[in-house]
Amino acid sequence: MNGTMTRRIAATSRIHAPTRIAATSRIAAVLIATTIAAGCATAPTPPPSAPGSPGASASLGPRPSSNATVRVVQPASGATISGTSVHIVIDLQGAKIVSATTTAIRPDEGHLHLYVDNSLVSMNYGLAQDIPVHPGTYVLRVEFVAADHAPFSPRVVSSDVFFTVK
Ligand SMILES: [Cu+2]
């Protein structure tokens, strides 16, 4: 980790305040220093479970549903990459990304929350993002959330994508 990388991350990403950082998470450790500019005051929301998991939307209160679907295009599941960052590309169908934070939510507007190893590490208002990584194996999951940063019900979440950095 060096200062150059930190500055580059801050300049290119809207960093979400992590709601729960595993002390052992390599990426969380990288990103913890860059979480200052969070434009997103997150309600404490549990990380999304993989599709089909029980209890994915428990205790979230009444939330609208959305017809949107989201998936990870890149990296490919099982990919092995080298370098100090991974390029993530998301496909979102049935909704559009809006940068506004509002409680006047619509089922077809929102933004993406990105989880690495169950930690919410970053968010931007686009469909592509570079995330700094160290060698290791990671699980990536993306969720489409409403413009108030809270999930839809049922949650609009991608399948898990595993990738290895060497
Ligand atoms: Cu958000």
150 C-alpha vs ligand 1 centroid, how far in Å? 7
The predicted-structure confidence for 98-157, as pLDDT tens digits, reads as follows: 998 999 999 999 999 999 999 998 777 999 999 999 999 999 999 999 999 999 999 999
Q: What is the C-alpha to C-alpha distance for residues 6 and 122, in angstroms, rounded to an integer?
A: 13
pLDDT of residue 73: 97
Q: Distance from the CA of 166 to the center of ligand 1, in angstroms? A: 30
From ligand 1's centre to the CA of 105, what distance in Å?
Answer: 12
Taking the CB of residue 7, how many other CB atoms lie within 10 A of it?
11
Which residues make beta-bridge pairs with 121?
Answer: none
Domains and CATH numbers, the chain: 58-165 (2.60.40.10)
What integer pLDDT is reported at residue 30 of this predicted model?
Answer: 41
pTM of the entire structure?
Answer: 0.71
Which helix (H) or strand (E) element contains residue 3?
Answer: helix 3-12
Q: What is the DSSP letter of 2?
A: -
- Region for 59 from its dihedrals, namely left if φ exceeds 0, alpha if ψ lies in -120 to 50, beta otherwise: left
Give the model's pLDDT for residue 42: 52
CA–centroid distance, 163 to ligand 1, in Å, is 24
Q: Which residues fall inside 5 Å of ion ligand 1, going by CB?
A: 40, 149
44 CA → ligand 1 middle, Å: 11
Residue of 77 and 124 predicted with greater confidence = 77
CA of 149 from ligand 1 middle (Å) equals: 4
Q: Which residues of the chain form beta strands (DSSP E)?
A: 69-74, 79-81, 85-93, 96-97, 109-116, 119-122, 128-132, 136-146, 151-157, 161-165
48: its two tokens: 């999304």
Beta-carbon contacts of 113 under 8 Å, excluding residues fewer than 6 positions away, are 16, 120, 123, 142, 143, 145, 149
Compute, in angstroms, the gap from residue 18 CA to the centroid of ligand 1.
11
Query: For residue 11, what pLDDT band results from cuts at 50, 70 and 90?
Result: very low
Query: How many angstroms separate the alpha carbon of residue 16 from the centre of ligand 1?
Result: 7
Distance 10 CA to ligand 1 centre (A): 17
The answer to whether the CB of 129 falls within 8 A of the CB of 85 is no
Three-state secondary structure string covering 22-40: CCCCHHHHHHHHHCCCCCC
pLDDT at residue 34 in the model:
36
pLDDT higher at 100 or 85:
85
Tens digits of per-residue pLDDT, 21-64?
443 444 444 443 333 334 454 545 777 876 555 444 444 458 99
Q: Give distance in angstroms: CA of 162 to centre of ligand 1.
A: 23
Give Cα 126 to chain centroid, integer Å.
11
